[in-house]
C-alpha cells in the first residue's frame, strides 16, 4: 500500500498552476493596457498644450512648430510653457469678462436712457 500523498494532489496542483499562470497573464495584459493608456493620455495632454501654445502665439509656421517640439524635449521648458499658456488664458478670460461687463453696462445705460426719455415725454404730456 502506497502512503505517498503527492499523487493525490497532482490534479489540484496542476489546476492551481494553470490558474496562477492565467492570472499572471491577465495581470500582465492589464498592466500593459494601463501603461499604453497612460502613454496615450500623456501624449494627448502634450498635444493639447502645444495647440494652446500655438494659439497663444497666433501663428504656426514650420519653424515655430519645430522649435516648440524641441522645447518639449526638456521638462523645465514644458513647465515654463504651461505657465505662460495658463497666464495667457487667464488674461483672455479676464478681458472677456470686462468686455461682457461693458456690453451689459452699455445695454443698461441705453435702457435707462429710453426710460428717462419716456418719463420726460409723459411729464411733458401731463403739463400740456
Q: What's the rounded Cα separation, in Å, for the pair 54 and 99?
A: 24
Q: What are the tens digits of pLDDT across the range 47-57? A: 999 999 999 98
Return the closest-CA partner of residue 65 out of 75, 78, 79, 51.
51
Tell me the three cell numbers of residue 41. 493620455
pTM: 0.62
pLDDT over 80 at 20, yes or no: yes
Q: What's the rounded Cα separation, in Å, for the pair 6 and 95?
A: 80
In degrees and rounded to multiples of 5, residue 125 shows phi and psi of: -65, -35
Q: What's the rounded Cα separation, in Å, for the pair 20 and 94?
A: 58
Amino acid at each position: 500500500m502506497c502512503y505517498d500523498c503527492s499523487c493525490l494532489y497532482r490534479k489540484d496542483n496542476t489546476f492551481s498552476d494553470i490558474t496562477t499562470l492565467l492570472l499572471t497573464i491577465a495581470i500582465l495584459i492589464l498592466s500593459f493596457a494601463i501603461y499604453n493608456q497612460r502613454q496615450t493620455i500623456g501624449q494627448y495632454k502634450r498635444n493639447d498644450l502645444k495647440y494652446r501654445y500655438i494659439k497663444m502665439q497666433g501663428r504656426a509656421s514650420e519653424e515655430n512648430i519645430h522649435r516648440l517640439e524641441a522645447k518639449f524635449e526638456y521638462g523645465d521648458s514644458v513647465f515654463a510653457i504651461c505657465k505662460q499658456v495658463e497666464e495667457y488664458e487667464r488674461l483672455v478670460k479676464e478681458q472677456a469678462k470686462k468686455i461682457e461687463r461693458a456690453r451689459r453696462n452699455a445695454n443698461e445705460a441705453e435702457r435707462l436712457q429710453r426710460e428717462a426719455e419716456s418719463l420726460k415725454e409723459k411729464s411733458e404730456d401731463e403739463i400740456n
